[in-house]
Chain A
Amino acid sequence: MFLKSAAIALTALMATAPIAKAETIPVLVPITGFLSLEGSSQRNGAVLAVERFGKDLSLDAEVTDTGTSPEGAVTALRRALEGKPSAAVASMLGTQMLAMLPIAGRAGVPLLTVSGTAKITEIGIPWVFRFFPGDSVVKVAQAHYAVEELGAKRPALLYQTTAYGQSGAEHLRRIMQDLGAPLVFEEAIDISVKDMLPALTRMQEAKPDLILLHLHSGSTALVIRQARDQNIALPILAGSAMHQPTTAALLEPKQLAGVCAESASSPISEPEGSVEDFTAEYRARFGTEPDAFALAQYDGVSMLIAAKNAGARTATEVRDWLASNSYDGLAMTYKSDGKGNMAHDAVVVCYDGKSAVPAIKRRYENVSGVK
């Protein structure tokens, strides 16, 4: 009985070894946990690009959920590396990227991500390519729009306690100070907090003239809903989570009046052209609206496929091509700054209080001066 059980267990353990595929692009993204909305967009963008442009190269996308823990991401990457890929799409969660990067560096496999965490391109591992503008781009756009377009002088900031939140808050604190509109209030909000009223009440005591948000999707919607329910009519300039259609869907259009958000792009706001085609195809394929993360990852994988079409076959060749070429994607033109930061443009979108589709109010191009 015992030997039989042991044999079954051993066989099951051996089944852990994955079956290798010839041309598989691993897509290692958080599709469960607090980043599931954004992670799903990332996955969809990558999958759509592989399906659209990868046929000639017999490319296939294999999606693995990383959850939100670093160890989950590391396990997913180790699994993916068994197939000896030439590149992998990697999580948008900064702590997961920080865990995966040394392993990818040792294995010599480039990681394509839309993570906004600044540190991933600052730790000296030249195997990461970020296709979403980092905080040094989008927070500049957010701060400038707050001061120059909305006339903010006494801004308040609510940010998430996650790596994403702390990184963005650090940038906003500094840039707003430089622009002569220092924060009069700031508070970090845990991802599990659902009641925002205490934070909003404390914020009001500081008498701000604008609310800056740097929160994930769910928290963004909760703050806006509860602020409007409390008749707090201050203008709100949110982080990129607010531009996501899935976030806007959590709110009534009238609650969105006076709400703007920074983002890399806003696919559903583009009424025509190639972005509109992308949006239509995305809707048809996934039955949901695309956001900037989906488009950025779509562009990233499209650039990867462009590298392969240009003859880059091995992981090293792919990395070198990505590092030394520019690519005209749908959202913007991508070019590495030498550290793997590929995206340098941002937009600010605003809602009119009648529709859940925002309009692009201002484009900030080449913020980092790389292109």
Chain B
Amino acid sequence: MPVSDPRSRLALGVAAIALALYALFFAGDYALHVLTRAGIYAIAAIGYQLIFGRLGALSLAQGCFFGLGAYAAGLGALELGLGFPLTLAAGVLLPSLLAALIAIPVLRLASHYFALATLGIAQLALLVATNWTDVTGGANGLYGVPPIETGTLSFGHGLPLTLLVWACVGLALTVSHRMTAGQRGLKVETLREAPLAAAALGIDGSAIRFRFFVASAAFGGLAGALQAHAVGVVSPDVLQFHVLVLILAMTVIGGRASPLGAILGALLLVHLPEWFRDFADYYLVVYGVALLAAIIFLPRGLAGLFGKSKMPPVETADAEAPHDPAPLTLSVETVSKRFGGVTALDGTSLTLAPGEILGLIGPNGSGKTTLVNLLSGIEKPDGGRILLGDADITGKPPEHIARAGLCRSFQHPQIAPDLTVLETVEAIATKGESAQARVIEAGLSTHANERAGTLPPAALKHLEIARALATGASILALDEPAAGMNEVERAALATLLKRLADAGHGILLIDHAMDFLLPLADRVICLSAGRVVAEGSPHEVARDPAAINAYFGESPL
């Protein structure tokens, strides 16, 4: 649940007031201590949401960052004699620097390798803390970390410490909100659910992953630093795996992508064992059962109890007219691509002019999708050149190519299922582009507030086109957009594509439905075994013996 919507803000406000009243008027020293612990873990969980909840990257280093923050604050206070604000800064900086250092190699890894790599880093930190006894105090750790004091103010324990920690929770919420609110949050959702599409639509996934990983480390470190001062002891225990498990459980049970959920998760998981103390030896069993129940009955987490906010409905009258694209010509010059011993493309050349629809046909395995992958930067060519207008985009990253003006769709639509249609397009819309206008242009205004995951296949194809248009692209490379459509749907799609071409978009159209493609295309190229075997008007290619031999079997005309 985004914090930006009124209902979330109201919920947060009421919860904050309730917590403040409880802390001020009802809580004793012990209850304040538990509340303080919950606040500390809430900060770590809010941070973990960024990398795990928002980006879906299973980092197993959040406990490590928490522990490093604690050690940095402890060593800063005990060895360097730093005062509280500086120890806090040290607690934030050390894990942030480590995260920045390891981000470049680690963030490139696929999900399970990423998890293993971060686990390795966490284990390494634990080994160092345990065995570098001269600095870390070894297994005994550091003790006597002073309570928080700054100037004449003392936040040692009790209400002052609780208020300070929860003020830090507020700070963490604010930072998290700034990183995930509005279009930024929608981009992140798209990146998590459809990383390939996100790149092809101009989202710089590497930069987002880097920012979120470092921020999650900073939040973990902040929590650890507060913990060091609150407990007074920093031992290797803060680097143990159970810290990560606790933070992970808070994130999942609270609500994977909701800051409010992180707070609820932390409050619940810190308080539950305390509530169940009267079960004596069986309190952990009861605790486990309660957690299991929460996971089974609240699949969207505690935050899911509050529902999901809705975007305002799309009003046709409000929509701005879509912008016309910049007139760009796509030139592909003798491009080749090999996968091991297989030649997917062998010196393929083509041009696509503004306002032109170029049909690309050929049997399965002829290199059509490979060509689109090369155009969109998902694969790099082994030879040849690709020009977009005067710009050489050969081998450039997908997000660069998308921003340059070439965008693509996928055979199997790649979308973030929980985003609405309007949010899906809003996530991509570049400056000056109206998501609303593109949704209407693509004929999706009646679906605008529906979740993308519930759309019928034909509407999904239109959504991909709307999203591509929202990047401001001049050239659209559409991979089998009519697949699975009935005649009425194909007709509607053809009308849309014709309109887009008339507006100046160059469209590279791959499809196997010849009754759809041939009447629509201005020119057609037939590929076979990675080579252009026929090129010309639809009539010419349909009668070309090479195309008939390679693809049609018999002329479709």
Binding site for B on A (CB under 8 A): 2-3, 5-6, 9-10, 12-18, 31-32, 63-65, 68-71, 74-75, 78-79, 81-82, 94-95, 98-99, 102-103, 117, 119, 123, 160-167, 188, 190
Contact = CB atoms under 8 A, between A and B. Distances in A.
B242 to A, nearest CB: 8
Interface stretch (B226-234, B334-342, B465-473): B226-234
A74 B40 CA distance: 15
A18 B230 CA distance: 21
Nearest to B146: A102
B232 A78 contact: no
Interface of B: 10-11, 14-15, 18, 21-22, 26-31, 33-35, 37, 130-131, 133, 138-141, 143-144, 157, 227, 230-233, 235, 237-238, 240, 242, 267, 271, 274-275, 277, 280-281, 283-284, 305-306
Given A17-B27, A75-B33, A163 B274 contact: no
A99 B232 contact: yes
B131 A78 contact: no
B277 A64 contact: yes
B15 A79 contact: no
Given A10-B22, A119-B140, A188 B131 contact: yes
A161 B143 contact: no
Given A9-B18, A17-B30, A95-B235, 10 more contacts: A2-B306, A14-B27, A16-B275, A17-B31, A18-B277, A79-B30, A82-B30, A95-B143, A98-B235, A165-B139
B29 A16 contact: no
State the main secondary structure of chain B at its contact with A: helix
A167 B232 CA distance: 20
B227 A71 contact: yes
Contacts of B33: 74-75, 78
Nearest to A107: B29
Contacts of A5: 305
Nearest to B234: A70
A166 B27 contact: no
Contacts of B235: 70, 95, 98, 163
Given A17-B31, A188-B131, A75 B14 contact: no
A188 B306 CA distance: 51
B156 to A, nearest CB: 9
Nearest to A71: B231
Contact of B237 (A65, A69, A160): A69
Contacts of A163: 138-141, 235
A10 B20 CA distance: 11
Contacts of A164: 139
Contacts of B27: 13-14, 16-17
A103 B138 CA distance: 23
Contacts of A82: 28-30
Given A71-B231, A99-B233, A167-B140, A31 B281 contact: yes
B22 A14 contact: yes
B231 A70 contact: yes
A134 to B, nearest CB: 13
Contacts of B277: 18, 64, 79
Given A2-B306, A12-B271, A102-B232, A18 B30 contact: yes
A32 B22 contact: no
A102 B27 CA distance: 22
B138 A166 contact: yes
Given A70-B235, A75-B37, A79-B274, A123 B144 contact: yes
Contacts of B14: 2-3, 6
Contacts of B34: 16, 75, 78
A65 B30 contact: no
Contacts of B237: 68-70, 95
